[in-house]
Structure 1
Amino acid sequence: MEAKKLHLENSLNELEKGKSLIPGGVLGIRRPYNFVEGEFPVYFDHGKGGRVTDIDGNEYIDYLCAYGPMILGNREKEVDDAVIDQIQNKGFCFSLTQKYQNMLAEKMNELIPCAEMSLFVCTGSDATSTAIRLARSYTKRTKVMRCGYHGWHDWCVEVKGGVPEKLYEDVFEFRYNNLESLENLLKEHGNDTAAVIITPLGHPLAAPITEPKEGFLEGVKELCKQYGVVLIFDEIRTGFRASIGGAQKLYKVTPDLAVFGKAMANGYPIGAVTGKAEIMKEGESNVFISSTFFPNSLSYVAALKTIEILERDKVLDKIWEKGEEFNNKIDALLKKYPVGARISGIAPMMFITFDKNEDGSYKKKRNDFYTQLIRRGVFLQPYHHGYICHRHTQEDLDYTVKSIEEALQYLTEKY
């Protein structure tokens, strides 16, 4: 049965107002064309735990989790209380750094296999760009081989408007799980390659999530060693989610450097670069890394409290347990209703995609499927994978499975 269309008048009116004030009304990946236009809300009002409510009063079970930061849930009291205490009793923005930076770096050393030294920034793009600058300084080389999404800065942004070609002409892409594509690039450019940066779990835009084939990450590491290249794992999404030590711990392959962000502070803005001390020390004097806001302590305090909760409550073990059961149920439904959809990923990160076909009908099926879910109060995105957070309840997950079955039944009847 087709679900009733949502009332979204306030969202749509606010968007029209926003277009006169902000380019596009909202920026980048949050624009309506990245969802199903006219069916998804554009503005949220509030959230609690694993649920969010839009400005029209519609409530959703939120599996996008702010594109990944919400590992615990919205308005997590212990984390917010720690931040509020810092604001009220210590302050957080000073001319000099507070000790929480050292405390977080010590925690990184304890948990992350590659960590010997760390530095902290505000965003994932800050972190990936810092890691590239460190690697170029350390190797005295220029070229970079990349695989995955690494942010919006000039060297890696995928939309090239406003970016001169000379700013990315030394950056080359290779294919995930295709060691030969990297090997060929290094044969040609290896002597001038500073870094290989890769997402250890493949999560390309609008395509299924892919785990590494046996020997792939090991092969990437060996090629980097062979050519004297710095290996960087982009763990912005997998860090503090795939495992407490990131995908490098899950897959037992240790890079030279790694970058983290998103889940490590449960929504507070932070990015981190960590790795071998001899490379990180390029940041002492050879590489300039500075910002008014990098030393602000609120995100450090939030990260320390978030990590404390992750460890104390064995949060990731619980997410894996919930996620595996959830994904298996969805997989069974997709086999029961063969509409051309499939689920991919790992327990904490899943994605329901539709296989492409020649007539392009998969696009209509995809839009109809995600339309039926959002109308039922399930917030998943057609072009980006979803997440399980700690505060998603069994009731949430069961309702979502039921809603997915109803959406698949609708597609079966329609197509």
Structure 2
Amino acid sequence: MITSSGPPAPERTPASSPSYAHLAASAAARARLHELVPGGAHTYARGDDQYPEAMAPVLVRGNGCRVQDVDGHEYIEYGMGLRSVTLGHGYRPVVEAVSAAIADGVNFSRPTELELLAAEDFLSLVPGADMVKFAKNGSDVTTAAVRLARAATGRTTVAVCDQPFFSTDDWFIGTTAMNGGIPDTGDVVRFEYGDLEALAVLLAGHEVACVIMEAATALAEPAPGYLEGVRALCDRHGALLIFDEIITGFRWAAGGAQAVYGVTPDLSCWGKAMGNGFPISALAGKREFMELGGLRTERARVFLLSTTHGAESAGLAAFRAVVRAYATTDPIGRMEHAGRRLADAVNAVAAEAGIAGHLQVAGRPSCLIFRTNDASGQPAQEFRTLFMQEMLERGVLGQSFVTSAAHTDADIDQTAAACRAAAVIYRRALDQGGVDGLLRGRPTAPAIRRFAAPRRIGQAAE
């Protein structure tokens, strides 16, 4: 059964059917969602296919790092709104700031003082940027950055780092397996993170408008001199450098990866944690480029960003409250403390169970992932799903171990206890050569894939 406190649930014999009475309300809600919403969720990363079959809870509320589902079960949550929540769910100063702001109106026909104050706050955190424009999601601002770079340089080719995701728009999604309905995107070229020589060859062989990349990821820290080298190559070849700070902003530092590594891009894109879950994003950059979308340029103007809800008061008030929290508390320090403690505990559990080469926690302490390898040491969806299944049974929800400032030592201890019990089942699967009889239902599948199979709804579990 699912527990929310106390010792881990005892070892159990898994049922043969992916049907759980204790998740009946979630099952009904999931079925109805699939009738009304394509994929059953508004974000592919939140889809049922990303969780053990018939075990994905439908949530109703959250507080701190804990969430509750429609069946009344409580979970410790990791991932925290796809990394968008760093201060915790329902963080009172943010909620109170938003409540006060929206009481005076949400959307107007002219700019508000709040827009000015939020812009000042943002630019005080990102000293390499001269101007900022707010929007609602990361795809808005990465696409605007690419459009601006193409206009500024007169070129069309975009060099995209081989990192997982940059935008829902055609220029990026057209390069993935889910490219249905998208025309040819031959003006996008790829480069490998960390390989400066390969990027130099690419830039020498193409007229590139911009290089877009995350300066770092959970598992990839830049080698000394790498980002400086990328900056120099862009300058040499006349390409703009764009940093995607959607994840790194407010998780690596309030000023993003550029503040940590000391390399200033021409443009940068922000979102996720800057609103602690409220919808807000930002495009920031050097004045000479940003002004192309304004009224003080003699050049042909760029339709940069123009959205009805880009500067509504709730998102901006949330952002300003987040800025205050980062100035007066230490959320990054607390996230990193929780992450280090969790990584040490889970890796110790894996070592005790004799599966350290198969179950591992790795990454930046504030942005951890778990590796789930099969008996041969290769990443395996079925073992990932088995681990998530066992953690869900014991009150831990997450596709990663991304922490927030709300994760306490007690939460980490409870998670480690759940991992200790899950490791027993994981070891059993390794010993028997697979997950048969242990995994209920089908394994998870990559979120971005061409066909709904192997997790097509209506397809019987094999």
Matched, 1:51 2:66: yes
Cα separation, 2, equivalents of 1:297 and 1:335: 50
3-state SS of 1:61 partner: strand
Structure 1 residue 216 displacement after superposition = 2.0
Structure-1 residue corresponding to 2:37? 22
User: Which structure would you say has the larger Rg?
Assistant: 2
Unaligned runs of 5+ in 2: 1-10, 296-300, 431-462
Matched, 1:405 2:424: no
Matched, 1:252 2:262: yes
Structure 1 residue 357 displacement after superposition = 7.1
Matched, 1:180 2:192: no
Contact preservation (8 Å) 1:210, 1:344: no
| Aligned ranges 1:7-406 → 2 under 5 Å | 7-27=22-42, 28-41=44-57, 43-88=58-103, 90-147=104-161, 148=163, 149-157=165-173, 158=176, 159-165=178-184, 168-189=185-206, 192-202=207-217, 209-285=219-295, 286-288=301-303, 289-336=305-352, 337-338=354-355, 339-355=357-373, 362-381=380-399, 385-406=400-421
Structure 1 residue 39 displacement after superposition = 2.3
Contact preservation (8 Å) 2:25, 2:71: yes
Structure 1 residue 342 displacement after superposition = 2.3
Deviation readout 1:363-391 (Å, 9 max, x if unpaired): 3322211111111111121xxx4421111
Cα separation, 2, equivalents of 1:333 and 1:194: 48
Contact preservation (8 Å) 2:373, 2:379: no
Deviation readout 1:242-262 (Å, 9 max, x if unpaired): 111111112222211111101
Contact preservation (8 Å) 2:204, 2:237: no
3-state SS of 2:340 partner: helix
Cα separation, 2, equivalents of 1:364 and 1:92: 46
Cα separation, 2, equivalents of 1:9 and 1:213: 49
Cα separation, 2, equivalents of 1:14 and 1:150: 30
Write the letter of the residue equivalent to 2:380: Y
Structure 1 residue 318 displacement after superposition = 2.2
Contact preservation (8 Å) 2:64, 2:89: yes
Write the letter of the residue equivalent to 2:410: E
Cα separation, 2, equivalents of 1:356 and 1:410: 13
Cα separation, 1, equivalents of 2:179 and 2:220: 26
Contact preservation (8 Å) 2:64, 2:406: yes
Cα separation, 2, equivalents of 1:241 and 1:357: 34
Cα separation, 1, equivalents of 2:40 and 2:335: 35
Structure 1 residue 145 displacement after superposition = 0.6
Structure 1 residue 144 displacement after superposition = 0.6
Contact preservation (8 Å) 2:341, 2:412: no
Structure 1 residue 44 displacement after superposition = 0.6
Cα separation, 2, equivalents of 1:403 and 1:3: 16
Q: Percent identity?
A: 33
Contact preservation (8 Å) 1:108, 1:115: no
Contact preservation (8 Å) 2:76, 2:396: yes
Unaligned runs of 5+ in 1: 204-208
Contact preservation (8 Å) 2:292, 2:302: yes
Contact preservation (8 Å) 2:79, 2:398: yes
* Shift in alpha-carbon separation, 1:346–1:360, aligned structure 2, 3 A: closer
Structure 1 residue 118 displacement after superposition = 0.6
* Shift in alpha-carbon separation, 1:3–1:155, aligned structure 2, 3 A: farther
Aligned residues: 401
3-state SS of 2:108 partner: coil
Structure-2 residue corresponding to 1:206? none
Deviation readout 1:274-312 (Å, 9 max, x if unpaired): 121111111115111211111212111110011101210
The TM-score normalised by the length of structure 1 is 0.91
3-state SS of 1:60 partner: strand
Structure 1 residue 356 displacement after superposition = 6.6
Structure 1 residue 176 displacement after superposition = 1.6
Contact preservation (8 Å) 1:145, 1:197: yes
Write the letter of the residue equivalent to 2:181: G
Structure 1 residue 141 displacement after superposition = 1.4
Write the letter of the residue equivalent to 2:110: L
Cα separation, 2, equivalents of 1:359 and 1:176: 24
Structure 1 residue 411 displacement after superposition = 1.4
Write the letter of the residue equivalent to 1:316: I
Structure 1 residue 360 displacement after superposition = 7.0
Cα separation, 1, equivalents of 2:33 and 2:291: 44
Structure 1 residue 53 displacement after superposition = 0.7
